[in-house]
Structure 1
Amino acid sequence: MSIDSTVTHVVAALAVVIALSSLLGAAARKLRQPPVIGQLFAGIALGPSLLGLAPGGVYETIFPDQIKPILTSVAQVALVLFLFAVGYELDLGQLRNRGAVTAVSLSGFAIPMLIGTGIVLLYPGGFHSANGGHPVDATFTLYMAVALSITAVPVLASIIRDQGLAGTRPATIAMAAAGVIDALSWPVLAVALIGGEDGSLGGWTVKVSLLAAYVLAMFVVVRPVLKWWMNRSGALMTNHVPVAAALALASAWVTSALGLHVIFGALLAGIIMPRQSDGAPDSQVLRPLQETGGLLLPVFFAISGMSVQLTGLHTSDLLLLLVICAAAVAGKVAAGALSARGAARLPWRDSLLIGVLLNTRGLTELIVLNVGLQAGVIGPRLYALLVVMALLTTAAAGPLIGPLHRPEGTSPAERAGTEADPAGEQTPDTGQAVDAEPTPQP
C-alpha cells in the first residue's frame, strides 16, 4: 500500500470512527446512559464481531491491517492527553481531614482488591481456561485485583451531572473517593506490570528503582524548574498548552522506555504540572487538552472494540463472566455502602447510592484492560469478558440511581428535621449539601 493510499484509508477510517462514536454516544445520553457506553458499542460494531461478519470484505476495506498501527498510535496520543488532564485535575489532598472520604476511599479500593485476588485463587481453572495460555501468576492476580478496584472518575462525573446529583452529599463523597481510589490504583498497576518481559527479581528491582528515581526527579527538579520558567517575566512562550502537551508526551515516552505503558508518564506529568495560586488547574491549559483528547478518544474506543472478539467466547466463559460481575458489583457496592454508613452516618439509601456510584467503571477500566492486553497479562477471551463487565457495571448505574435518589431530601424524617433546623446539612429547597466537601473536577 502506497503512502497516499495509506493516508486515504486512515482519513476515511477516522471519519467513520468519529461519526459513529459520536452518534451512538449521543444516543446513549438520550437513554440516560453515559456516552462511553455508546462509544464502546460503536467500537465493537466496527470490529470483527459485527462489521467483520458483513459480506464483501467491508471490514478489511475500511480497516486494512496496514493502517491499524497508525490508528493505535492516534489512540495512544489521545490517551496521553486525556490522562495528563486527569492527573492535572487530581487533588492529592483529598484525604486531609475528611473522615467520610477517607473511609470510603480506602474501603472502595481495598475490598475490591481483596475480592479480585480471592476469585483468582478460588477459581484458577476458569481463569486459566479463558486467559488463552497466558500465565495466571502473581502479576495476573494483582492485575485482576486492580481491574476490580477501578472507578471511572470522568464517567462518574457525567452520570452525576446527567442524573441531577451534582452538589448532593452522596455524589460529593463518591466523586472525591473515586479520585483517591484511582490515585491509589495506578501505582499498584505500575508495580504489577513493571517487570515487563524480564520477570526476574533483579530486573523488577532495577525498573522499580529507575521509576522511583524518575518520579523523584519530576517532583524535585522538573516541577520547580517548570514553575519558574512559566511564571518568569518576559517568558518567550506565553501559551502554556504546547508546554503541557510536550511535557505529557515526553513523560509518556520515558515511562514507556522504562517498560511501563505511556499512560503512567502522562498521569505523572499532569500531577507535577504547576497550578494556579489557589491550587486549581489552569483552565486555559486544561480545556484545550481535554477537548483534543476527547475528540480523538473515539479512536481508542474503536481499537478497544476491535480487540473484543465475541465470536471467540466459549459457553464455559459464561460462568466466569458471572463470577467477575458478581465480584465487581459486590466489592464496590458493599465497600461504599458500609463505609459511608459507618464513617459518615448517612442513611442506608444514601450509603447504597455511594456504592452504586463507585461501581461505575467505564473509560478508566477500558484503559486498564487495554494495558493488560498489550502487556500480555490477559488474553483476548478474558479481555472480552472484562469489557462486558465494564459495560454492564457502568450501564447499571443509571437504573439503580433512580430508586435511591430523592431530589427533595434523603428521607421524610430528615426533610422534616431540615425544615425545622435551617442550619442542618440539607437546604429545604434544593436538598444540596451545605457543609459537604467541594466536588472535584471530573
Structure 2
Amino acid sequence: MQDHTSLAVRDSNLELALDVLPALAVILLAAAVIGRLAVMLGQPRVLGEIIAGILLGPTLFGWLAPELQADVFPAQARSVLYVLSTIGLTLYMFLVGAGLDHSRQESERKHHPAVLAASGFLPSLVLGGLVGLLMWDDVSRDDVNRWEFALFVGGALSLTALPMLARMLYERGLQNSRLGRLSLVAASIDDAAAWCFLATLTAVHTGSGAVGALPMIGYSILFTVVMLLGVPRLLRPLARHVGRQGTLSPGAMYVVVIIPIVCGYLTDLIGIYSVFGGFIAGLAMPRDPRFRQALHSRMMDTVSTLLLPIFFALSGLTTDLRSLSADTLLFGVAALLAGFAGKYFGSTLAMKTLRFSWREAFAVGGLMNARGMMIIVFINIGLAQGLITKPVFSVLVMVAVITSAAVLPLYRRALPKHLELNLGSEVPPPAPAPRPLTTTDTH
C-alpha cells in the first residue's frame, strides 16, 4: 500500500513538472523576444517583458487560442509559477532596496532632492486620489471604502521606478551630473514613501479599519526598526569580507539569500506582503559600494532573467482588456492623465524653481514618469489584498505601459544628444564608480 502511495505521489509530481516546465519555457521565450524588440525600438527591456506578459494572457493568446492557452497555463502550473514569482519579486525588491545609495547627496543644497521628490509625489497622489474619489461608485469593490480606493490609486500613480531611471542615466553617463544625482535621490525618496504608504494602507484595509490595523502597524514598525538598526551591525564583518574578496562566496550567498526570504515570510505573517520584507531587508544591507556591486553582479541577472518574467506573465494572465466597461476605460484614461500630469508638471516646475534650465526641467519631468515594473508590483499587491478589481488592475497595467513608453521620447525631445553631452561633462565622475545596476535594472 505504501509503495502504491509513493508511486502515485511521484507520478503526480512528474505530471506537475510536465505542466510547469513548458509554461516556463513559453514565458522566457516571449520575454526574450519581445524584450529584445523593445530594446531595438529604443525602449527599456522591461517594457517589452510587461507587454509579453499581457500578450500571453486572455487579451491576445487567450482570445486567439483559448484551449491552447489553458493547456500551456493550467491551474496547477499557475500555483507553482505564483510561488516562483513571489520569491523572484521578493528578491528583486531586496536588490532594489540594497541598491539605494543613502550617502548620495546633491552637491549644492541637501534639501533639493526632497523638493523634487515631493513635487512629483504629492501632485500625483492628489490628482490620482481625486480620480479615485470621483469614480469610486463606478469601478471599486463594494468592500473597499471611498478613501481607501482613492488613496490606493493616488499611491500607485505617485511611483517612480528608481532602477529604470538609474539605468537610463548610467547609459548616458549622467549619473554624476547635477541633474542625474538629484533625480536618483528624489526617485529613491518617492519609492520609499510609496512603499511605506502602501504598507500602511494595506494594514488599515486588512485590519478592518484604523483601530484594527494598529497591531499590524506596530509589528511593522518594530520589524523595520530591528532590521534597519540591528541587522546592519551584524553584517559589517560580512561586508568587510566581501570587500576584500571582491565577490560573494557560496557561504555569503546563503546568508544574503536567506535574509530576504525570512523577512518576506515575517512580513507575510504580519500581514503586509512579502515584498515589503524583501525591500526592508535590502535597505538593511551594508552600504559598502564593493558589497553592493558584488551583490548585484551575483544576483540581479538570475533574478531578472529567470524569475521576474514569471511575475510579468502572471500579471498578464490577470490582465484582460477585451471586455472592459465604459466606466473602467474612462477611469483608465483619467488615471493616465492624472499620473502623467502630476509627475511631469510637478517635477518640471520643481526643477525650474531649483534654477535648472527649462530643457533640463522638462527632461527630468519625463524621467520621473518612469514607472516600469514598480507600479505593476504595487497594483498586484492591491489586487491580492482586495483593494481593487481585476478590470481596474488591467487598466492600471496599461497606464504603466503607456507612461513608461513615453519616458525616453520626452527626455530626448527635451535634451537632444548634443545638449546631453554637455550636461554629462559638467561634473567629472568619481573614480572608481560602483558598477551600475545590470540588465533589468531597466525594471
**With structure 2 as the length reference, what TM-score do the two structures score?**
0.87
Displacement of 1:163 after TM fit?
6.3
Select the structure that is richer in helix.
2
- Say yes or no: does 1:13 pair with 2:23: yes
* Runs of 4+ off more than 3 Å: 93-97, 158-172, 228-233, 279-282, 435-442
**Which residue in 2 is equivalent to 1:420?**
none
Alignment correspondent of 2:127: 115
Q: Which moved more, 1:264-273 or 1:283-292?
A: 283-292
Q: Does 1:315 align with 2:308?
A: no
Following superposition of structure 1 onto structure 2, how do residues 348-387 of structure 1 map, counting pairs within 5 Å?
348-387=358-397
Which letter maps to 1:58?
Answer: L
Count residues in correspondence: 418
Cα offset for 1:436? 9.0
Picking from 56, 65, 68, the partner of 1:46 is 56
Contact kept, 8 Å, 2:170 with 2:436, in 1: the verdict is no
Query: 2:262 is matched by which residue type in structure 1?
Result: A
Question: Offset at 1:388?
Answer: 0.7
Structure 1 residues 173 and 355: alpha-carbon distance in aligned structure 2, compared to 1, 3 A threshold:
same
Q: 1:288 is matched with which residue?
A: 298
**Corresponding residue of 2:41:** 31
2:274 aligned partner = 262
Give 1:273's aligned residue. 285
Tell me how far apart the structure 1 counterparts of residues 425 and 286 of structure 2 sit (CA, whole Å).
32
* Counterpart position of 2:259: 247
Match of 2:231 among 195, 216, 222: 222
1:83 matches 2:93: yes
Residue 284 of structure 1 deviates from its aligned partner by: 2.0
- CA shift in 2, pair 1:140/1:400, >3 Å: same
Match of 1:399 in 2: 409
Separation in structure 1 between the aligned mates of residue 222 and residue 328 of structure 2, nearest angstrom: 42
- Post-superposition offset of 1:396: 0.8
Aligned equivalent of 1:140, options 120, 136, 149: 149
Contact 1:12 1:62 in 2 (8 A): yes
Q: 1:223 to 1:431 in 2, by over 3 A?
A: closer
Shift of 1:228: 4.3
Q: Does the 8 Å contact 1:95/1:102 carry over to 2?
A: no
Q: Unaligned regions of 5+ residues in structure 2, if any?
A: 1-10, 243-248, 438-443
Q: Distance in 1 between matches of 2:287 and 2:179?
A: 28
Whole-Å Cα distance in 2 between the matches of residues 82 and 203 of structure 1?
31
Instruction: Out of 280-289 and 20-29, give the one that drifted further.
Output: 280-289
CA deviation after TM superposition for structure 1 residue 270, in Å: 0.8
Residue type matched to 1:217 in 2?
A: V
Which amino acid in 1 is paired with 2:342?
A: G
1:62 match: 72
- The 5 Å alignment of 1:82-231 reads 82-94=92-104, 97-121=109-133, 123=134, 126-161=135-170, 167-228=176-237
Among residues 295, 311, 333, which one is paired with 1:300 in the alignment?
311
Tell me the secondary structure at the aligned position of residue 273 of structure 1: coil
Q: Which amino acid aligns with 2:425?
A: Q
SS, match of residue 310 in structure 1: coil
Q: Would you say the 8 A contact 2:238–2:252 is kept in 1?
A: no
**Superposed displacement of residue 84, structure 1:** 0.7
Q: Secondary structure at the match of 1:316?
A: helix
Deviations 1:143-190 (A, max 9, x none): 112101100112223334556755554343222211121122111111
Q: Is the 8 A contact 2:352 2:361 kept in 1?
A: yes
Which structure 1 residue ranges, 5 or more long, are not aligned?
A: 411-425
Give, in whole Å, the separation in 1 of the partners of 2:406 and 2:78: 32
Of residues 426, 430, 438, the one that matches 1:433 is 426
SS where residue 81 of structure 1 aligns?
helix
How far the C-alpha of 1:375 sits from its partner, in A, is: 0.6
Counterpart residue identity of residue 129, structure 2: T
- Give the superposition deviation at 1:320: 1.7
**Which SS does the other structure have where 1:282 is aligned?**
helix
1:308-348 per-residue CA deviation (whole Å, 9 max, x = no partner) reads 011230133332222111101110011111111102x1111
SS state of the match for residue 312, structure 1? coil
SS of 1:195's partner is helix
> Which is worse superposed, 298-307 or 149-158?
149-158
| TM-score, L = length of structure 1 | 0.87
Within 5 Å, give how 1:410-421 maps onto structure 2: none
Does the Cα contact within 8 Å between 1:173 and 1:354 map onto a contact in 2?
no
In 2, distance between residues paired with 1:77 and 1:167? Answer: 33
Match of 2:341 in 1: 330
Contact 1:83-1:267 at 8 Å conserved across structures = yes
